[in-house]
Structure 1
Amino acid sequence: MRASLRGWGGVGAMAVGCAVALAFVLLLPLTQSSAGSATGAGRGGSGLASARQATAGNCTDSQAQNETWSPSGADGTTIDAIKARTGAKRKLIVGVDQNSYRWGYRNPNNAGAELEGFDIDLVHRIAQDILGDPDAVQFKAIPTSQRIPAIQDGRVDMVVRTMTINCDRLKDVAFSAPYFKTGQQVLAPKSSPITGYDSSLAHRRICTAAGSTAYAKLDADKKSGKLPASADISATVPNQLDCLVRLQLGEADAVVTDGALAASQAAQDPTVELKGAAFTTEYYGVAMKQGATDLVRRVNQILVGYRADGWQASYDKWLSATLGADSAASKPSAPQYLRSS
């Protein structure tokens, strides 16, 4: 094991954090099926299905972030179902991460260890708009590999969890316009000879989260010969933070993940660093159920206002320390809306 492990208490704190995260997932209550958005979101007719199939067939990953519907403040069946919840259940049910530092995490230094971070700020803004209360949220901690199943099964109304928009995912879920721009990067110990996403990864053990775009990229590049054949990409974990723990324990030589997440992990452990530049361009979006067009349009309407008032303040608070004061590289350009109902 490498010496001098620091950042949130090193390996011990990380291991405890992972155990707490697992317990949290297992203990969280199940979403109520009859009142959930799955009921309203599943009411898209055959016309919507045909439009989705036609659009998905023409999708390219370089334009996937634009495969969404134009903004609208109107309610529809999905939003009506959310608003129809009563009492303590009148909440927006959102899948989030609770282990991604500065994105969605429980700060042990705060009373109650409430969830906070860049993604969490956006969730509160959406809840404020739809339900009139920024705290009318039921957070559900879900691992990376369960983001799409949680939406499809109706366990959540949406997922706000550093989720990259791409064509494969658009076959399974609907996305909002992008709210963040990033790219895949390599994270490794400072003492490592690894220099980036290049030949220095030969004979190295690379950790990724199961179901992540990082693993899909590595798998495709290894098959095509862009990644050294000797690179070992078999180590996949449920949550991205688990990769940092493996790196600290010496069970992995490198981590590949979104640069925005990697920078936060480097902030947690000063013995690791980003290696090389980003080698992809990716956009985060809010994921929702196919057919929940009214909810997608509503979120897009919220994002119009949020980009103008709220996004920068959240960036300054949570991400400027790790990504730099200049947010220009992280803020998506004005969105396009290529889908039509």
Structure 2
Amino acid sequence: MRDGVTVWARRARAGLRGWGGVAAMAVLCALALAFVLLLPLTQSGGAETPRSGGRGVAEGVHARAEDCEAPEKQTLPPSTADGPTIRAIKARTGAKRKLVVGVDQNSYRWGYRDPNTEGARLEGFDIDLAHRIAEAILGDRDAVQFKAIPTDQRIPAIQDGRVDMVVRTMTISCARIGEVAFSAPYFRTGQQVLAPKSSTITGYDDSLTEKRICTAAGSTAHAKLEEDRSAGRLSADISVTVPNQLDCLVRLQLGEVDAVVTDGALAASQAAQDPAVELKGKAFTTEFYGVAMKKDADDLVRRVNQVLVDYAKGDWQTSYDTWLSATLGKDSSASKPPAPQYLRTG
């Protein structure tokens, strides 16, 4: 839509050359600005998830700026009450009466297809949580439709209404809380370096100078690398990006890159898939995974947060022991998120 505004403005400017009037251009700019400011109020969501009207530009800016040093705290208090989003999900009939969840199917131990199960069943830590949310909303843990979503399509899939939520090792970040709503954190991790065991790379340090690093497009890892390169803190080639994180491991195996930077929790799973690679150095960030939903799906955010409160009482540890203890260690304390804080008010 905004592209349309740009085209319209360009055509209008071309016409104004014949007028030769600065005042006319000023009027045109004012009209264009008013149109852009009103545009968010005219946008509507997907057919199955009603959007509440009246959310303007000022609120969106406020959401992005609000306590950005702790984006994981910008979520709503838990509740079991149904609102318009949950009622729309429950109103689905027949085979469509399912919670639609965006997931990964290539992240070992998180969301992956196990070839040793019937039909190569989708399993993992994130998958367990998605089943639990479906059970809380629809009364059936299997009432969930999984959609494989590439890393760089997680936010568009939510905004376009292709999924109700994304449960896909998605870090809560300052940039993202302006685009989607997040639950409270359900996992703690941090960025780490993955490289061949024989590599001279020792971690996120000067040993990466002039090295080729692979990251997933749209990931917080890539954003961090771009930030550090711009600030002169990193001298490496970060041009190689891939749609899915596992593709970086393939590039590493083929010798097309020297290292991978991703969440330590994912890197540990990749190292478990290939004994020739290992984690190098310690995590150099602290990040939290959250369930992502539409910006105005307040009732769904509250319900997911209630699920997480109950999940933390036992199911979280059971899932960790099943899927992650083999790669991250039996002691789960470093991976448990902090006690949730619900600082978002609307």
Q: What secondary structure sits across from 2:175 in the alignment?
A: helix
1 CA distance for matches of 2:265 and 2:183? 19
State the Cα deviation string for residues 215-269 of structure 1 (Å, max 9, x = none).
00000000101112xx100000000000000000001100000000000000000
- 1:65 touches 1:283 (CA, 8 Å); kept in 2? yes
Match of 1:16 in 2: none
Partner Cα separation in structure 2 for residue 259 and residue 213 of structure 1: 12
Could you tell me which of 63, 70, 73 is aligned with 1:55?
Answer: 63
Please, which runs of 5 or more residues in structure 1 have no aligned partner? Answer: 1-36
5 Å matches for 1:142-291? 142-228=149-235, 231-291=236-296
- Normalising by structure 2, we get a TM-score of 0.85
The amino acid across from 1:247 in the alignment is L
Residue number among 125, 131, 154 corresponding to 1:124 in the alignment: 131
Pair 1:86-2:93 in alignment: yes
Task: Give me the TM-score of the superposition, normalised by structure 1.
Answer: 0.86
Q: SS at 2:137's partner residue?
A: helix
**CA shift for structure 1 position 46:** 2.4
Conserved? CA contact 1:123–1:160, under 8 Å: yes
CA contact (8 A) 2:50 2:84 kept: no
Residues matched between the structures, number: 302
| Contact 2:63-2:178 at 8 Å conserved across structures | no
**Structure 1 residues 309 and 51 mapped into 2: Cα distance closer, same or farther (>3 Å)?**
farther
One-letter amino acid matched to 1:44:
S
User: What is the aligned-residue RMSD (CA, Å)?
Assistant: 1.3
- Unpaired segments of 5 or more residues in structure 2? 1-44
CA distance in 1: counterparts of 2:291 and 2:329, whole angstroms = 24
Distance across 2 between alignment mates of 1:264 and 1:194: 19
**Identity among equivalent pairs (%):** 73
TM superposition shift of 1:50 = 5.1
Contact 1:185 1:258 in 2 (8 A): yes
Out of 38, 47, 56, the position equivalent to 2:46 is 38
Paired residue secondary structure (1:311): helix
Aligned to 2:332: 327
1:95 and 2:102 aligned = yes
> What secondary structure, in the 3-state scheme, does the structure 2 residue paired with 1:38 have?
coil
d(CA) in 2 for partners of 1:284 and 1:93? Answer: 19
Match in the other structure for 2:21 = none
